[in-house]
Each structure stands twice: as structure tokens, then as C-alpha cells.
């Protein structure tokens, strides 16, 4: 039997996990945005669907890849937790491709409803696919939106590190995805006003690209016409490093008792990775 390529399996898992995440996340925004009377959802349903999408995406991918589903998480793991640098770019590409394909599926599935409420495919429904300062309606400066994304992603990575560190009494492996999903729900409910809580470069860029090639000519700009697509990429990457660094300084270096082999970890350790990656995944 031909031996499988471990990295290919990991990339397939990142693609599939991110695809599931975006199908629920972008799908719920499409449903809410095309419901004229508001009967099919509101802000809370959006926050919950995004969180559930994260949970389900992590369950899909965790065994094979560790379920990063987010280039900001992947980068932070490489910088602070020993994740292999050679995998960072392939993981980010797989995550972005998964988000792109999922957004295309939503775009086609909701085409009639989107055309009914916004036949010219304007900024009015661009928020289905990608984030905007003030969610496209409030007057929020670029500096505020940038800071918001740094803070939101820092919270995400800091708590993910806490939840998946075997030294930090994390939830059992099979409950880890549920708690991470709840974390995203909480971020959405507390940090969604300034910039729509992208907190994930793949989540924003993949669907933004999908919307651009399917009729949204202004996809790269905000409601004021300013070039905006770069902000939900750069700010989350910085925020992930901030969150990971704070966890190392405030928590990890103060944990003194090493975990026993029978202690739970936050996510399953992929069986297909090499010894260095196995050690890194165990720490997650």
C-alpha cells in the first residue's frame, strides 16, 4: 500500500474544517441580511452560528491537523509553540481556499435572495461575505477598526492557548472544540461593533475574493471608498502574536508542574505528524 503524505492530509483537514466554519458563518449572515422583516435571525443568531461553525469545523479537522482554521492561530503556534514553519504558508493557503469555496457555495445558494434585496450587489450586502468598519453603517475610523481586530484576535489566541495547554488543566479533548466555539460566540457578542470580528485573515479574504469575482466590484473597499481588505489580514496576524506572547509571559512561564502522560490535552494529537510536531500538538 502506498504511504500517504501526512501534510496532504493535514491540509485537506484545514480546508474542510474552514469550509464548514464559513458555510455556517457566512450562511447565517446571508440568511439574516436577506430577511426583509428580520424574522430569520438577528445579531445573536449570527454570533451563535459563527461559534457553532467553529465548533463543528474543529471537530472535523482536529484529529488530522489540530484544526487551526485561521492563519493568525497558525502563525502564533509557529512563533510560540513550536509548530513547523514549513507548514505555515500551506496551512494558510488551505484555510483561505476552504473559506473561498464555502463563500462561493453560499453566494450561489443565496443568489436569488441577494438579488431580491440588492440587485446591484452593493455595499448593502457586501457584509454577508466580508467585514467592514462599523459593519458598514457606523462611523468607525480605520485606527479603531485596526485596534479592534488586534484586541479581538489577541483574546482569541490567548484563550485558545489556555484551553489547549496540557499544563493548564484544559477541558477534555472532546470538549475543547465546544469551548473554543463558545469563545467565538463571546467575542462576537462583545467585540462585533467596530469591525465585525473577522479575527481571521482566511475568513475575511476568502469570502471577499469570492464576492468580488461574483459581482461585488467594491469588495476591496469600505463604505467610504477606502481600500480596506488589508486590515482584516494584517491586524489579526498582529493580534495573534500579541495574544500568544501574553499567554507565554503571563501564564505559561508560571506553570511549574509538567503534565503526566495520562492527562488530557485540548485537542487530539495528529498521528501523522513527525516527532517535533507531535510534541507541539501535545502542548496545544
Reported as a single tens digit per residue, the pLDDT across 88-128 is 999 999 999 999 999 999 999 999 999 999 999 999 999 99
pLDDT at 239 over 90: yes
Query: Treating both helix axes as pointing N-terminal to C-terminal, what angle do 142-164 and 71-80 enclose, rounded to 10 degrees?
Result: 60
- The pLDDT value given to residue 174: 87
Which pLDDT tens digit goes with each residue over 38-58? Answer: 889 999 999 999 999 999 999
Output the CA torsion sign for 103, 53, 76, 282.
negative
Q: Which three cell numbers stand for residue 211?
A: 464576492
Output the CA torsion sign for 231, 233, 234, 238.
positive
Q: Which residue has the cell 514553519?
A: 85
Average pLDDT estimate for 65-87? 97
Which letter does DSSP use for residue 260 in this model? P
Average pLDDT estimate for 257-284? 42
| Residue 279 binned pLDDT confidence (cut-offs 50, 70, 90) | very low
The overall average pLDDT reported for the chain is 90
How far apart CA 98 and CA 273 sit, in angstroms, is 21
Please calculate the CA angle 235-240-242 and round it to the nearest 5 degrees: 95
- The pLDDT value given to residue 169: 72
Residues with Cβ within 8 Å of residue 186, at least 6 apart in sequence: none
Q: How far apart are the first and last CA of the chain?
A: 32
Are the C-beta atoms of 49 and 27 separated by less than 8 Å?
yes
Q: Which three cell numbers stand for residue 208?
A: 471577499
How far apart CA 157 and CA 161 sit, in angstroms, is 6
Amino acid at each position: 500500500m502506498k504511504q500517504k503524505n501526512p501534510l496532504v492530509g493535514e491540509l485537506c483537514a484545514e480546508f474542510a474544517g474552514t469550509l464548514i466554519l464559513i458555510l455556517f458563518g457566512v450562511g447565517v449572515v446571508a440568511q439574516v441580511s436577506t430577511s426583509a422583516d428580520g424574522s430569520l435571525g438577528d445579531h445573536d443568531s449570527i454570533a451563535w452560528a459563527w461559534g457553532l461553525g467553529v465548533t463543528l469545523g474543529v471537530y472535523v479537522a482536529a484529529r488530522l491537523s489540530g484544526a487551526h482554521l485561521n492563519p493568525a492561530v497558525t502563525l502564533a503556534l509557529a512563533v510560540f509553540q513550536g509548530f513547523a514553519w514549513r507548514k505555515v504558508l500551506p496551512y494558510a493557503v488551505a484555510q483561505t481556499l476552504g473559506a473561498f469555496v464555502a463563500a462561493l457555495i453560499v453566494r450561489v445558494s443565496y443568489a436569488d435572495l441577494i438579488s431580491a434585496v440588492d440587485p446591484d450587489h452593493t455595499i448593502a450586502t457586501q457584509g454577508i461575505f466580508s467585514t467592514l468598519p462599523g459593519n458598514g453603517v457606523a462611523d468607525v475610523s480605520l485606527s479603531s477598526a485596526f485596534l479592534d481586530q488586534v484586541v479581538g484576535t489577541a483574546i482569541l489566541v490567548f484563550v485558545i492557548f489556555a484551553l489547549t495547554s496540557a499544563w493548564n488543566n484544559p477541558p477534555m479533548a472532546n470538549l475543547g472544540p465546544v469551548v473554543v466555539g463558545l469563545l467565538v460566540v463571546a467575542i462576537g457578542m462583545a467585540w462585533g461593533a467596530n469591525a465585525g470580528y473577522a479575527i481571521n485573515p482566511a475568513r475575511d479574504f476568502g469570502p471577499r475574493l469570492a464576492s468580488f469575482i461574483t459581482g461585488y466590484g467594491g469588495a476591496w473597499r469600505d463604505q467610504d471608498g477606502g481600500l480596506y481588505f488589508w486590515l482584516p489580514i494584517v491586524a489579526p496576524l498582529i493580534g495573534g502574536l500579541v495574544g500568544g506572547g501574553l499567554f507565554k509571559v503571563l501564564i505559561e512561564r508560571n506553570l511549574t508542574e509538567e503534565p503526566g502522560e495520562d492527562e488530557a490535552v485540548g485537542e487530539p494529537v495528529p498521528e501523522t505528524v513527525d516527532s517535533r510536531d507531535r510534541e507541539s500538538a501535545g502542548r496545544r
